[in-house]
Amino acid sequence: MSERERANVAPAKKGVGSEHPRPVLVVDLGAQYAQLIARRIRECHVYSEIVPHDLSAEDVATRRPAGLVLSGGPASVYEDGAPSIDPRLFELGVPVLGICYGHQLMAQALGGAVEATGRREYGGTTLHVGDRGILLQDLAADEPVWMSHGDAVTRAPEGFRVTSRTDAIPIASMEDPVRGMFSVQFHPEVAHTPRGTAIMKRFLYDGCGLLPEWTPANVIERSVAAVRAQVGDAEVLCALSGGVDSAVAALLVHKAIGDRLTCVFVDTGLLREGEPEQVEETFGRHFGVPLVHVKAADRFLARLAGITDPEEKRRRIGEEFIRVFEEVATEHRDARFLVQGTLYPDVIESGSRTAARIKSHHNVGGLPERMNLELVEPLRDLFKDEVRTVGAELGLPEEIVLRQPFPGPGLAVRIVGEVTEENLRIVRAADHVVREEVLRSGLDRETWQAFCVLLADVRSVGVMGDGRTYEHPVVLRVVTSEDAMTADWARLPHDVLDRISSRIVREVPGVNRVVYDVTSKPPGTIEWE
């Protein structure tokens, strides 16, 4: 790299008011927790982004990173085809933190040694701190950490000092602060490493020289400036669903352009019971923005007729949304921009160079190639918990800020099979029971999402009133999560499960069996489709 390129990526403190702070880039080396690392960095009020491991040093330099974090990963650094990085990344003059596999990759690239020692560590381990250096300043002599590795660094590169060990490995952390190189074998990003956040802060604040400036107030200021720069003096439509994402997006854009914003609520016929009325009522109380209510249930159902593939459902719903908004735009002074509440997890799960496509979100991978509207996505870089924090900062009430997520394609992706009026009736009624009982039990704030999935193509034998039934099962899905990137199934009290099951079978015609999904994410996803 030239001296000019090095200058462009050298660490520097970032002032408030610019379009975006310089990011700390999380280089994804196949880690299960790459997204978690990015979130932990943001919890330290520093902006982070996830990038693929095969970016060249020149590509990384153009992003002007304030720091790099090399994630963990399941491979061995000496295996054929193992994820690697451009070794010139270490020559950019940017501080680097290696975690687990990233720790080993750094050691190998800079002249150290990595070996399969035969002493694997999985789970809780005691870290013996010998030299606190920069990263471990806040740790005691013996600290619990979380390990997950088979290989180990057995010789540190020249210029590094070893700062800790465990009973199994001689080099559990090392650093060369002169060159801004730091690495740890354990996982500071997980909750099982109690002082992990303190370690991350030491890297960000002391190692990279950053300030904790990624705050809700600064996010709002930057988002408003970016929206103004993008839309100029044009008219703008906003896709309002009633959820926190679209509500926060609407408020940010309204703050930027005022009465040139018109919100559009599209009733697709795929919403929950009472939702259209609730959206209009809530919007009327809390927003001073015009609202257009488009009733389009028939056209969405027609587009979904005979379709059972979930990706095709999402694609058709995404395209139909755009067509509706294009029609509304012609009636509202030819608006050229459409605001969506797209989040960072939507972008990740819809597929990128960093991550395989898990499912196409209707507002990302489900969009049509031809569009007459330009998208405005002020939340595209945010995780869900950050959106809620920004919403609270903007003054949104708790009933919106803390509302449980509902997928953009609605109940269409909660029907495994064809979306018909009858199947919608069944899943809508079952969902209503679930939400009532979760709310009645005081579990709505303790759970991330609670809903039902209809297995429309499956029937099971049952007995009611001494007679045989042959009807559908529904799947109860209740999870806990922080950001929807990972989730665990909720351990609901048995009496709550009993009430939900009994009511659904008794009150929802067409259902004779309720099962509970006890799959975490990963390996499952929160929604079934």
Out of 100, 208, 263, 452, pick the active-site residue. Answer: 100
- For this structure, is 311 an active site residue? no
Q: Which two tokens stand for residue 21?
A: 């702070």
Torsion of CA 11, 16, 18, 21, to 10 degrees: 40
Q: Which two tokens stand for residue 78?
A: 């000496």
Out of 121, 143, 189, 529, pick the active-site residue. Answer: 189
Out of 53, 103, 149, 187, pick the active-site residue. Answer: 187
| Widest pairwise Cα distance in the chain | 84
- For this structure, is 100 an active site residue? yes
DSSP 476-508: EEEEE-SSSSSBEE----HHHHHHHHHHHHHHS
DSSP 258-313: GGGEEEEEEE-S-SPTTHHHHHHHHHHHH--S-EEEEE-HHHHHHHHTT---HHHH
Buried b (16+ CB within 10 A) or exposed e, 373-399: bebbbbbbbbbbebbbbbbbbbebeee
User: Where do runs of H (alpha helix) occur along 410-524?
Assistant: 421-440, 494-507
Nearest Cα to Cα of residue 406 among 239, 287, 245? 245
Integer-rounded Cα Rg, in Å, for the chain is: 25
Q: Which two tokens stand for residue 315?
A: 């694609």
Fill in the amino acid letter for 344.
Y
Q: Which two tokens stand for residue 214?
A: 């990624």
237 touches 328 (CB < 8 A): yes
Q: Tell which phi-psi region holds residue 140, choosing left (phi > 0), alpha (psi between -120 and 50) or beta.
A: beta
Nearest Cα to Cα of residue 94 among 71, 131, 63, 72? 63
- Stated as kind and residue range, the H or E segment containing 108 is helix 101-109
236 touches 261 (CB < 8 A): yes
Residues taking part in catalysis: 100, 187, 189
